[in-house]
Structures are given as structure tokens and as C-alpha cells.
Amino acid sequence: MRGPVWPTSSVKFDLKFVDTRAPKGVEQAAEEYFTVRRVGFNQCILSLAKAVEGPQDIELHLSMDMYHNGALAGVAVARIYIFVSQYEF
């Protein structure tokens, strides 16, 4: 996710683990399975920190609070849906 490139801007990123659905016997993913790290100016990368067992469906929300001259200028939210197959490819 990338924020504005104005010289007087800054952003704050936040990842929320919303839900996971998996059949009985499958280890469900949790928040610690994912990491957000800042790269460059006002941008971040969402990465997988631990392998996810399938099948399961995962929902994450990655939000970005944008500030201009220290005042909140806007919020962007990316809803991320991950569908993990039971098969390894």
C-alpha cells in the first residue's frame, strides 16, 4: 500500500486480522502469520510470516491513516481476502 508523496505528508499503517474459516483439523491462520513492514516513503508491504495450511479463507484489513501537516487528511482501507487451496502447487 502506498500513501501520498507530498513532502509534508505522513502515514500510519495498521493491519487487522478479521476472520478465518477452515475445516476441522486444519490449523487456522492468525494475526502473527502476517507482517507489515514499511518500505520507502509512505508505503508498506504485507508479507506472509508463516506458512498457512489449507484449505481456508482469510480476511484482513490493511488501513492507512494519511496526515498532511500533522492533521488527519484521510483514511484508506484495503480489504484483503486470501483463499488457500488444500493442494500444494
The answer, yes or no, to whether the previous bond of 55 is cis (omega within 30 of 0) is: yes
- Residue 23 belongs to some domain of the structure: yes
Residue 67: the pLDDT is 94
Residue 77 forms part of a structural domain: yes
pLDDT of residue 5: 87
Domain count, the chain: 1
CA distances from 83 to 8, 26, 31, 33, 65 (A): 38, 14, 16, 14, 27
Q: Which domain holds residue 70?
A: 9-84
Tens of pLDDT, residue by residue over 52-80, are: 999 999 999 999 999 999 999 999 999 99
Q: Is residue 3 part of a domain?
A: no
Q: Is the pLDDT of residue 89 over 80?
A: no
pTM over the 0.85 mark: yes
In a domain, 1, yes or no: no
pLDDT tens-digit readout, 19-48: 999 999 999 999 999 999 999 889 999 999
